[in-house]
Amino acid sequence: MRHTESKARWIEVAPIFYEMESDGSLKPLSNEEAVKAPQSAIRMIRFSPKRFRLQPGESQVLRVRAFTPSSTEDGVYRVHLKFTPDDPEDSPDNKNKGAIRYQLQARVALAVPIYFKKGNPESKFEITNLKIEEDSNKKAQLSLTLTQSGKGMARGDISVFQSASKDMDKKNRSLVGKVAGLASYVPSRSVKIPLSDDFSPLSAENDKKLEVEFTPAANEKEVLTQAVLLSPQASK
């Protein structure tokens, strides 16, 4: 990591495990809870340094190693490393003798996910419950459910394409929505994807369809699962 502030800071690093809710939000668990979680790697990693000081413009390399006991089942294991800067120091106020001046400074902690797998775990994915909705700003969005089974992990991009309902040529599709770098650690996760201004509402007068594809982040040409939402006219 590189330090971009104007003053030197101490940085502390600690492992933390997050439990994912069905809406994709993350809830931190205590160490006692984390060691019991099925996918937790909180006891499987070693890293150094755990605390370091950075001058402005300096960078620090963090070395991480994973250890998997022989009894560990095949699967994907994860943990986050949380980087927390030190508290801002109080400084004397030269204008007011005997007073202390407090400066309000942002103290932002950064949590970096770490994944590793044991063996060759696989998962199957499915996209269901497609529905067009409005967000809080009255903008169109696509709501869906991404489900998975197996011991792998969902990580990739969900893309939404629109075209004429009977057009099977992918070259004629328009990209109207995308969520990149999505990760899911739960069997079923709800996802909401904002749709662009190029999206045409699906209606009986508008013979259109939406094609939704889930692809791995490293290979957009490999489709893990897909689903189609037709207009009322085309679904008859």
Radius of gyration (Cα) for the chain, nearest Å? 24
Give the model's pLDDT for residue 1. 78
- Asked whether residue 236 carries a pLDDT value surpassing 70, the answer given is no
Each residue's pLDDT tens digit, 45-101: 999 999 999 898 899 999 999 998 888 999 999 999 999 988 644 444 444 545 544
Residue 169's contacts (CB-CB under 8 Å, 6 or more residues apart) are none
Q: Across the chain, what does the average pLDDT equal?
A: 87
pLDDT given at position 207 = 86
pTM metric for this prediction: 0.80
- The pLDDT tens digits of the residues spanning 174-231 come to 999 999 999 998 999 999 999 999 999 888 778 899 999 999 977 778 999 999 999 8
Overall residue count recorded for the chain in this entry: 236
Domains by residue range for the chain, with CATH: 9-118 (2.60.40), 123-235 (2.60.40.10)
How far out from the chain centre does Cα 93 lie? 43
For 135-172, b/e burial (b = at least 16 CB within 10 A) is eeeeebbbebbbbbeebbbbbbebbbbbbebeeeeeee
